[in-house]
Structure 1
Amino acid sequence: MPGLLRGVARTAVVAGTATAVSNRVSRRQAGRWAQQDYAQQQQYDQQQYDQQQAYAQPQAPDPAVPPPPAADEMTEKIDQLKQLADLKAQGVLTEEEFAEQKRRLLG
Protein backbone atom coordinates (compact mmCIF):
# COMPACT_ATOMS: atom_id res chain seq x y z
CA MET A 1 0.00 0.00 0.00
CA PRO A 2 2.83 2.49 0.60
CA GLY A 3 3.92 2.04 -3.01
CA LEU A 4 0.42 2.77 -4.22
CA LEU A 5 0.17 5.91 -2.07
CA ARG A 6 3.55 7.09 -3.31
CA GLY A 7 2.44 6.56 -6.93
CA VAL A 8 -0.79 8.49 -6.40
CA ALA A 9 1.09 11.32 -4.67
CA ARG A 10 3.63 11.48 -7.49
CA THR A 11 0.84 11.57 -10.08
CA ALA A 12 -0.88 14.38 -8.17
CA VAL A 13 2.34 16.40 -8.00
CA VAL A 14 3.04 15.91 -11.71
CA ALA A 15 -0.54 16.76 -12.67
CA GLY A 16 -0.54 19.82 -10.42
CA THR A 17 2.78 21.02 -11.83
CA ALA A 18 1.58 20.45 -15.38
CA THR A 19 -1.60 22.39 -14.69
CA ALA A 20 0.31 25.28 -13.11
CA VAL A 21 2.75 25.47 -16.02
CA SER A 22 -0.05 25.25 -18.57
CA ASN A 23 -1.98 28.03 -16.84
CA ARG A 24 1.10 30.23 -16.68
CA VAL A 25 1.84 29.70 -20.39
CA SER A 26 -1.78 30.46 -21.23
CA ARG A 27 -1.74 33.68 -19.18
CA ARG A 28 1.56 34.75 -20.75
CA GLN A 29 0.23 34.16 -24.27
CA ALA A 30 -2.99 35.96 -23.47
CA GLY A 31 -0.97 38.91 -22.16
CA ARG A 32 1.15 39.02 -25.31
CA TRP A 33 -1.91 38.86 -27.53
CA ALA A 34 -3.55 41.61 -25.52
CA GLN A 35 -0.45 43.81 -25.96
CA GLN A 36 -0.44 43.15 -29.69
CA ASP A 37 -4.13 43.92 -29.96
CA TYR A 38 -3.65 47.10 -27.94
CA ALA A 39 -0.74 48.22 -30.13
CA GLN A 40 -2.70 47.49 -33.31
CA GLN A 41 -5.72 49.35 -31.96
CA GLN A 42 -3.56 52.36 -31.06
CA GLN A 43 -2.05 52.38 -34.55
CA TYR A 44 -5.49 52.12 -36.15
CA ASP A 45 -6.84 54.91 -33.93
CA GLN A 46 -3.89 57.14 -34.83
CA GLN A 47 -4.47 56.54 -38.55
CA GLN A 48 -8.15 57.38 -38.17
CA TYR A 49 -7.30 60.54 -36.24
CA ASP A 50 -4.78 61.60 -38.88
CA GLN A 51 -7.33 61.10 -41.63
CA GLN A 52 -9.95 63.11 -39.76
CA GLN A 53 -7.47 65.92 -39.21
CA ALA A 54 -6.54 65.93 -42.89
CA TYR A 55 -10.19 66.24 -43.89
CA ALA A 56 -10.98 68.79 -41.18
CA GLN A 57 -8.24 71.24 -42.11
CA PRO A 58 -9.39 73.77 -44.68
CA GLN A 59 -7.30 73.67 -47.78
CA ALA A 60 -5.57 76.93 -48.53
CA PRO A 61 -6.44 78.21 -51.96
CA ASP A 62 -3.61 78.12 -54.45
CA PRO A 63 -2.11 81.54 -54.96
CA ALA A 64 -3.04 81.56 -58.61
CA VAL A 65 -2.87 84.45 -60.97
CA PRO A 66 -6.28 86.09 -61.19
CA PRO A 67 -8.09 85.44 -64.45
CA PRO A 68 -7.64 88.07 -67.11
CA PRO A 69 -10.38 90.66 -67.20
CA ALA A 70 -13.15 90.31 -69.73
CA ALA A 71 -12.89 92.12 -73.04
CA ASP A 72 -15.45 94.73 -71.95
CA GLU A 73 -13.44 95.53 -68.83
CA MET A 74 -10.25 95.85 -70.86
CA THR A 75 -11.90 98.23 -73.29
CA GLU A 76 -13.22 100.32 -70.41
CA LYS A 77 -9.79 100.51 -68.75
CA ILE A 78 -8.14 101.50 -72.03
CA ASP A 79 -10.68 104.28 -72.48
CA GLN A 80 -10.05 105.53 -68.93
CA LEU A 81 -6.28 105.47 -69.51
CA LYS A 82 -6.77 107.52 -72.68
CA GLN A 83 -8.84 110.05 -70.75
CA LEU A 84 -6.15 110.28 -68.07
CA ALA A 85 -3.48 110.76 -70.74
CA ASP A 86 -5.55 113.53 -72.32
CA LEU A 87 -5.97 115.26 -68.94
CA LYS A 88 -2.24 115.02 -68.36
CA ALA A 89 -1.52 116.37 -71.85
CA GLN A 90 -3.88 119.32 -71.18
CA GLY A 91 -2.01 120.03 -67.94
CA VAL A 92 -4.96 119.22 -65.68
CA LEU A 93 -3.07 116.32 -64.05
CA THR A 94 0.54 116.35 -62.88
CA GLU A 95 2.88 113.43 -63.57
CA GLU A 96 2.42 112.19 -59.96
CA GLU A 97 -1.36 112.43 -60.13
CA PHE A 98 -1.38 110.62 -63.47
CA ALA A 99 0.84 107.85 -62.09
CA GLU A 100 -1.39 107.48 -59.01
CA GLN A 101 -4.60 107.30 -61.05
CA LYS A 102 -3.00 104.86 -63.48
CA ARG A 103 -1.88 102.65 -60.56
CA ARG A 104 -5.40 102.67 -59.08
CA LEU A 105 -6.96 101.88 -62.44
CA LEU A 106 -4.63 98.97 -63.22
CA GLY A 107 -4.78 97.84 -59.63
Structure 2
Amino acid sequence: MPGLLRGVARTAVVAGTATAVSNRVSRRQAGRWAQQDYEQQQRPAYEQPQEQAPPPAPPAPQPAAPDEMTHRIDQLKQLADLKAQNVLTEEEFESQKRLLLG
Protein backbone atom coordinates (compact mmCIF):
# COMPACT_ATOMS: atom_id res chain seq x y z
CA MET A 1 0.00 0.00 0.00
CA PRO A 2 2.80 2.52 0.65
CA GLY A 3 4.02 2.07 -2.94
CA LEU A 4 0.60 2.89 -4.33
CA LEU A 5 0.29 5.93 -2.11
CA ARG A 6 3.76 7.10 -3.12
CA GLY A 7 2.83 6.75 -6.84
CA VAL A 8 -0.39 8.70 -6.39
CA ALA A 9 1.45 11.43 -4.46
CA ARG A 10 4.14 11.67 -7.14
CA THR A 11 1.50 11.96 -9.88
CA ALA A 12 -0.26 14.70 -7.94
CA VAL A 13 2.98 16.67 -7.52
CA VAL A 14 3.87 16.34 -11.22
CA ALA A 15 0.37 17.36 -12.32
CA GLY A 16 0.33 20.30 -9.91
CA THR A 17 3.72 21.49 -11.10
CA ALA A 18 2.71 21.20 -14.73
CA THR A 19 -0.46 23.17 -14.08
CA ALA A 20 1.43 25.90 -12.24
CA VAL A 21 4.00 26.23 -15.01
CA SER A 22 1.31 26.27 -17.70
CA ASN A 23 -0.63 28.99 -15.88
CA ARG A 24 2.50 31.09 -15.43
CA VAL A 25 3.37 30.84 -19.12
CA SER A 26 -0.19 31.79 -20.09
CA ARG A 27 -0.14 34.83 -17.80
CA ARG A 28 3.22 36.00 -19.14
CA GLN A 29 2.07 35.62 -22.74
CA ALA A 30 -1.17 37.49 -22.03
CA GLY A 31 0.87 40.26 -20.41
CA ARG A 32 3.11 40.54 -23.46
CA TRP A 33 0.14 40.73 -25.80
CA ALA A 34 -1.50 43.38 -23.63
CA GLN A 35 1.74 45.39 -23.66
CA GLN A 36 1.98 45.17 -27.44
CA ASP A 37 -1.64 46.29 -27.83
CA TYR A 38 -1.04 49.20 -25.48
CA GLU A 39 2.09 50.27 -27.37
CA GLN A 40 0.27 50.13 -30.72
CA GLN A 41 -2.56 52.28 -29.37
CA GLN A 42 -0.09 54.88 -28.07
CA ARG A 43 1.68 55.29 -31.41
CA PRO A 44 0.70 58.24 -33.56
CA ALA A 45 -1.17 57.34 -36.74
CA TYR A 46 1.80 58.21 -38.99
CA GLU A 47 3.96 55.66 -37.17
CA GLN A 48 1.42 52.84 -37.53
CA PRO A 49 2.76 50.18 -39.87
CA GLN A 50 0.88 50.17 -43.14
CA GLU A 51 -0.45 46.87 -44.35
CA GLN A 52 1.06 45.94 -47.66
CA ALA A 53 -0.80 44.31 -50.48
CA PRO A 54 0.12 40.68 -51.06
CA PRO A 55 2.52 40.06 -53.92
CA PRO A 56 0.86 39.44 -57.27
CA ALA A 57 0.17 35.86 -58.22
CA PRO A 58 2.56 34.34 -60.75
CA PRO A 59 1.20 34.37 -64.28
CA ALA A 60 -0.63 31.27 -65.41
CA PRO A 61 1.32 29.12 -67.87
CA GLN A 62 0.33 29.77 -71.43
CA PRO A 63 -1.33 26.84 -73.18
CA ALA A 64 0.70 25.35 -76.00
CA ALA A 65 -0.20 26.38 -79.52
CA PRO A 66 -2.20 23.76 -81.44
CA ASP A 67 0.72 23.01 -83.77
CA GLU A 68 3.10 22.63 -80.85
CA MET A 69 0.63 20.38 -79.02
CA THR A 70 0.25 18.19 -82.09
CA HIS A 71 4.03 17.98 -82.38
CA ARG A 72 4.35 16.93 -78.72
CA ILE A 73 1.67 14.26 -79.16
CA ASP A 74 3.48 12.88 -82.20
CA GLN A 75 6.75 12.75 -80.25
CA LEU A 76 5.04 10.95 -77.37
CA LYS A 77 3.63 8.40 -79.81
CA GLN A 78 7.11 7.84 -81.25
CA LEU A 79 8.51 7.36 -77.76
CA ALA A 80 5.75 4.88 -76.95
CA ASP A 81 6.52 2.95 -80.14
CA LEU A 82 10.23 2.83 -79.26
CA LYS A 83 9.36 1.58 -75.79
CA ALA A 84 7.02 -1.07 -77.24
CA GLN A 85 9.86 -2.25 -79.49
CA ASN A 86 12.14 -2.48 -76.40
CA VAL A 87 14.46 0.16 -77.82
CA LEU A 88 13.84 2.37 -74.77
CA THR A 89 13.73 1.23 -71.16
CA GLU A 90 10.94 2.34 -68.84
CA GLU A 91 13.31 4.86 -67.17
CA GLU A 92 14.41 6.32 -70.51
CA PHE A 93 10.80 6.59 -71.65
CA GLU A 94 9.72 8.38 -68.45
CA SER A 95 12.71 10.71 -68.63
CA GLN A 96 11.97 11.69 -72.23
CA LYS A 97 8.28 12.05 -71.49
CA ARG A 98 9.04 14.45 -68.61
CA LEU A 99 11.25 16.52 -70.93
CA LEU A 100 8.51 16.74 -73.54
CA LEU A 101 5.76 17.65 -71.12
CA GLY A 102 8.01 20.07 -69.24
- What's the TM-score bracket when you normalise by the shorter of the two chains? 0.3 to 0.5
TM-score norm. by structure 2 comes to 0.45
In our comparison, the structure showing a higher alpha carbon Rg is 1
Identify, as 1 or 2, the structure richer in helix. Answer: 1
| TM-score normalised over the length of structure 1 | 0.43
